[in-house]
Amino acid sequence: MRGLWARRYNETREIAMQTTTAERLQAQLAAVPSRPGVYIMRDGEGEVIYVGKAANLRSRIRSYFGSPHSFEPKVRRLVEQIADFEFIVTDSAQEALILEANLVKRHQPFFNVRLKDDKHYPYLKIDLNDPWPRVEITRRVQPDGGIRYFGPYASAGSVRKTLDLVKKLFTWRSCTKAITGKDPRPCLDYYIHRCIAPCSSYCTKEEYDNVIRQVILFLEGRAEEVLKELRQRMQEAAEGWEFEQAAVLRDQIRAVERVTERQAMATTDFIDTDVFGLARQDNQACVQVFFIRATKVIGRDTFTLEGVSDEPEEQVVASFLKQFYQSATYVPKRILLPCQLAEAPLIQTWLSQMRGSKTELVTPQRGKKRRLVAMAEENAREALQMMQARWLADTGKTRAALDELQEELNLPNLPQRIECYDISSIGGTSAVGSMVVFQDGRPRSAEYRRFRIKTVAGADDYAMLQEVLRRRFKRASARGEPVEPRADSDRTRPSAALRTGSGRADEGAVGYDESFGTLPDLVIVDGGKGQLNAALDVMRDLGVADIPAAGLAKQHEELFVQDMSEPIVLPRTSQALYLVQRIRDEAHRFAITYHRGVRQKASARSALDAIPGIGPKRKRALLRKFGSVQRIRQASLDDIAATPGFTRALAERVREGL
């Protein structure tokens, strides 16, 4: 049946290739069956840009070619780029889910939520088929029942940290030599108690197997069983007068105890649990995973996602779960999630099949489980901030980003100082603007500035942006005079009115702000061509038209520049794109934070503020005495007049105003 559908689809596709793209796509739609499966969208260059699954392929694929007005912005951008599609029929929605996860991992489509730098994640491997097994790092999982795998880990760093810990706690061999038991003497590891030297027959096969069994128990999170066995062996060694061996075991017990003491008690339930927390910002997200085994958090890892903009939280979490457990070697009995998933029944069935017994997906609302999820979310937020800070602190990357930005935008100078502006308002109310400054690719928060919009009434973002830029560049001069055109070699360019005999700016000049004295090498405004043109108009009026400016449109992450009709589209892996996104996001965050505060203050105003003669002190006196505006309304005229600072005439005015 699948072969019949495939032949019919390919024949239709060959005929349709001779027509226009729109006609061809419509012709291909006629061959799509009403069956479960996976569909693959491609752009004009044949690159896979989206992979999705559907219980009914015909209905789902047709939905992309209907009216675009009902689409989310991300779907609208996807549809604009679709030049071809194909599909794979499956026997069930369960098969479609697994196939979708495999194809997303393989193709890394731009419009899918995907694990950043997805690859074969590292695992710890113990080959029990080897008579003297070791603990190794591997990136490939082979279907062999004699090999135990632990992971996946998010990075080589995290898996090596675990490997080093296990090596310090347990005396397995780390060498790769063939073990014959005939070596004249063991290596240094034996003498520092890091190996029990099977190479020199200092241990039996049973003793070595016991060490490997302890390693497996520890990696499974069953440290209490390991400690119980070690204590028993120490007692037996002491009773047999083998005091040196008892001392070695004592030190090992203490080392394991120190490790397990650092693992916080997570729950009183003896149920293996994975806890997920999500943090996101624009097109990036971090997922923190806590691994709880036998009541203790035995480990955690952080994974980075891309392609999350305009995606609902539940879709981001669902996409991550499918990609994560598709590679995992172990599925716990319970999984705690930060949000409800529409696909929960399907994913739960799939995970239960992988586990071999029931796995439940839980979204806790309160109690200890909710606190665990909240802790994972907080760690994810910290990890996301750390990742961004680490990138900004990497001199090599930021320099490469600045060089690339200069080349792509054809800038006369390296954009060492970049200023970005954003406007935040709701329908024109409580409107504010933000200015953030990045010097050499790093934020200079001391030079950030906030602006309350004063001259614009209504929702006019262009006029608000112009007000902010006008105020910023006027403050670069002492008396509101135009700023002199800059010289390429002079990065601090105040006008002549700022200069004194000593060469310093005249700080006493009206309206002068020293932090505005240094002009930027590049101005970025949050928005497209309209916002850019509004900014350029102001900059021409103020004599700073020689400063390069660009508008960063969020919808397609396009850069609009002066005298170019088409936007500049930086590669999605571009360091320059990452930098301008970080700068834009910082300006947006700064504006939103300020706008939220202004809005809260405005909403906190009472009816007393509109009464002439009632200032902050008299308002506080009334509220201190009566407690609320409602009680002031109910009070008598004499009671109001008796308030400190009030007269009878003022009390009458209060009564009338309320």
What is the predicted pLDDT for the residue at 101? 81
What is the predicted pLDDT for the residue at 604? 47
CATH fold match for the domains 273-390 and 395-601:
yes
For the stretch 470-483, pLDDT in tens is: 988 888 764 444 44
* Poorest-pLDDT segment among 40-44, 53-57, 498-502: 498-502
Contact yes or no for 104/114 (Cβ under 8 A) = yes
For the stretch 174-203, pLDDT in tens is: 888 888 888 888 888 888 878 888 898 888
pLDDT beyond 80 at 601:
no
The backbone region for 73, taken as left when phi is positive above 0, alpha when psi lies in -120 to 50, beta otherwise, is: alpha
* Integer angstrom CA distances of residue 606 from 127, 611, 630, 640, 654: 73, 10, 11, 17, 12
What is the predicted pLDDT for the residue at 282? 64
- And the tokens for 101? 């996860």
Q: How many angstroms from the chain centroid is the CA of residue 186?
A: 49
My answer on whether omega of the bond before 152 falls inside 30° of 0, hence cis, is: yes
Instruction: Return the number of other C-beta atoms located less than 10 Å from residue 249's C-beta.
Output: 21
Instruction: Provide the CB-side half-sphere exposure for 412 (13 A, CA).
Output: 11
Contact yes or no for 590/436 (Cβ under 8 A) = yes
pLDDT higher for 257 or 5?
A: 257
Query: How confident is residue 503, by pLDDT bands cut at 50, 70 and 90?
Result: very low
Please state the φ and ψ torsions of residue 644, each to the nearest 5 degrees. -55, 130
* Poorest-pLDDT segment among 482-491, 569-578, 636-645, 648-657: 482-491
Query: How confident is residue 374, by pLDDT bands cut at 50, 70 and 90?
Result: confident
pLDDT beyond 50 at 484:
no
pLDDT beyond 70 at 506:
no
d(CA 467, CA 452): 10
For the stretch 520-548, pLDDT in tens is: 999 999 888 889 999 999 998 888 888 99
The domain 395-601 is placed in CATH, from the list 3.10.20.90, 3.40.50.1820, 3.40.50.300, 3.30.420.340, at: 3.30.420.340
What is the predicted pLDDT for the residue at 211? 87
For the stretch 397-455, pLDDT in tens is: 788 888 888 888 888 889 999 999 999 887 667 788 999 999 888 888 888 999 988 88
Q: What is the mean pLDDT of the chain?
A: 78
d(CA 252, CA 220): 18
Contact yes or no for 125/149 (Cβ under 8 A) = yes
Query: How confident is residue 92, by pLDDT bands cut at 50, 70 and 90?
Result: confident
pLDDT beyond 80 at 131:
yes
Domain topology for 2-112: GIY-YIG endonuclease (3.40.1440)
What is the predicted pLDDT for the residue at 391? 66
For the chain, the structural domain boundaries read 2-112, 123-261, 273-390, 395-601, 607-657
Query: How confident is residue 266, by pLDDT bands cut at 50, 70 and 90?
Result: very low
Whether the model clears a pTM of 0.85, i.e. scores above it, the answer is no
CATH number of 607-657: 1.10.150.20
SS3 for 249-266 is HHHHHHHHHHHHHCCCEC
What CATH class is the domain 273-390?
Answer: alpha beta
Please state the φ and ψ torsions of residue 436, each to the nearest 5 degrees. -115, 150
Contact yes or no for 132/113 (Cβ under 8 A) = no
What DSSP letter does each residue of 326-367 carry, written as one string? HH-S---SEEE-SS--TTHHHHHHHHHHHHTS--EEE---SH
Q: If residue 302 lies in a helix (H) or strand (E), which one and from where to where?
A: strand 296-306
For the stretch 97-123, pLDDT in tens is: 878 887 887 788 888 887 765 455 677
Above pLDDT 90, what percent of the chain? 6
- And the tokens for 430? 């409580």
